[in-house]
Structure 1
Amino acid sequence: MRWSGGCRTSARLSLPWIATVSRCCCSCATDSPVCSKHSKATDHRGIPMSEPKQQSKLPYIATAVITLLLLMAICAFQLRINEVAVVTTFGKPSVVTEPGFQWRLPWPVQQVRLFDNRTHVLVGTQEEITTGDSINLVVRPFLTWRIDDHLKFSKSLGTMTEAESVLRSSLSSLLGSVFVNHKLGDFIGVDRLSGLAQIETEIRQAFEQQLPADYGLAVEFVGVSELVLPADNTNSVIERMKREHAAIAETIRIKGETEANIIRSRADSAGTTRLAEAKAKAQDIRSTAMAEAAESYETFSEDVDFALFLRNLDALEDAMGPVTLIVDPSMPPFHMLLPDGGQVKENMNE
Structure 2
Amino acid sequence: MNRVGFIASSLLVLLALLSSTLFVVDQRQFGVVYALGQIKEVITEPGLNFKLPPPFQNVRYIDKRLLTLDSTDPEPMLTAEKQRVVIDWYIRWRITDPSEYIRNVGLDESAGANQLNRVARNAFQEEINRRTVRDLLSSRREELMADVKREVLEAVRGSRPWGVDVIDVRITRVDYVESITESVYRRMEAERKRVANELRSTGFAEGEKIRADADRQREVVIANAYRDAQKIKGEGDAQAASLYAEAFGRDPQFAQFYRSLEAYKGSFNKKGDLMVVDPSSEFFRAMRGTPGAAPASR
TM range (shorter): 0.5 to 0.7
Q: Partners in 2 of 1:221 and 1:215 — Cα distance?
A: 17
Instruction: Rate the CA distance shift 1:166–1:231 in 2: closer, same or farther, 3 A.
Output: closer
For 1:1-350, what aligned pairs fall within 5 Å after superposition? 67=13, 70-89=16-35, 91=38, 93-125=40-72, 126-157=74-105, 158-188=107-137, 192=138, 194-211=139-156, 212=158, 213-234=160-181
Q: Partners in 2 of 1:173 and 1:92 — Cα distance?
A: 32
Q: Partners in 2 of 1:105 and 1:150 — Cα distance?
A: 20
Write the deviation string for residues 54-108 of structure 1: whole angstroms up to 9, x where unpaired.
99x89986x5675355224421111001111222456463221221111111134
Question: Of the two, which has the highest radius of gyration?
Answer: 1
**Retained in 1: the 8 A contact 2:39–2:99?**
no
Q: Partners in 1 of 2:12 and 2:87 — Cα distance?
A: 55
How far residue 186 of structure 1 moved from its aligned partner, in angstroms, is: 1.1
How far residue 113 of structure 1 moved from its aligned partner, in angstroms, is: 2.3
SS in 2 for 1:133: coil
SS in 1 for 2:123: helix
Letter matched to residue 144 of structure 2: I
Q: TM-score, normalised by structure 2?
A: 0.53
Write the deviation string for residues 279-333 of structure 1: whole angstroms up to 9, x where unpaired.
xxxxxxxxxxxxxxxxxxxxxxxxxxxxxxxxxxxxxxxxxxxxxxxxxxxxxxx
Letter matched to residue 119 of structure 2: S
**Retained in 2: the 8 A contact 1:93–1:151?**
no
Q: Partners in 1 of 2:47 and 2:14 — Cα distance?
A: 19
The structure that is helix-richer by fraction is: 2
Write the deviation string for residues 113-154 of structure 1: whole angstroms up to 9, x where unpaired.
221110100111123111111111111221111112111112
**Retained in 1: the 8 A contact 2:145–2:169?**
yes
Q: Partners in 1 of 2:6 and 2:155 — Cα distance?
A: 61
**Retained in 2: the 8 A contact 1:141–1:223?**
yes
Letter matched to residue 143 of structure 2: Q
Name stretches of at least 5 consecutive residues in structure 2 with no aligned partner: 189-298
Task: Indicate the structure whose relative CO is greater, using CA pairs within 8 Å and at least 6 residues apart.
Answer: 2
How far residue 237 of structure 1 moved from its aligned partner, in angstroms, is: 6.0
Instruction: Rate the CA distance shift 1:92–1:170 in 2: closer, same or farther, 3 A.
Output: closer
**Retained in 1: the 8 A contact 2:32–2:39?**
no
Instruction: Rate the CA distance shift 1:92–1:137 in 2: closer, same or farther, 3 A.
Output: closer
How far residue 232 of structure 1 moved from its aligned partner, in angstroms, is: 2.6
How far residue 173 of structure 1 moved from its aligned partner, in angstroms, is: 1.6
Instruction: Rate the CA distance shift 1:122–1:92 in 2: closer, same or farther, 3 A.
Output: closer
Name stretches of at least 5 consecutive residues in structure 1 with no aligned partner: 1-53, 241-350
SS in 2 for 1:234: helix
Which 10-residue stretch deviates more, 230-239 or 156-165? 230-239
Q: Which consecutive segments of 4 or more residues in structure 1 shift more than 3 A? A: 57-61, 63-69, 88-92, 234-240
Letter matched to residue 71 of structure 1: L
SS in 2 for 1:222: strand
**Retained in 2: the 8 A contact 1:128–1:136?**
yes
Q: TM-score, normalised by structure 1?
A: 0.46
Letter matched to residue 110 of structure 1: Q
**Retained in 2: the 8 A contact 1:127–1:140?**
no
How far residue 209 of structure 1 moved from its aligned partner, in angstroms, is: 1.6
Q: Partners in 2 of 1:92 and 1:116 — Cα distance?
A: 17
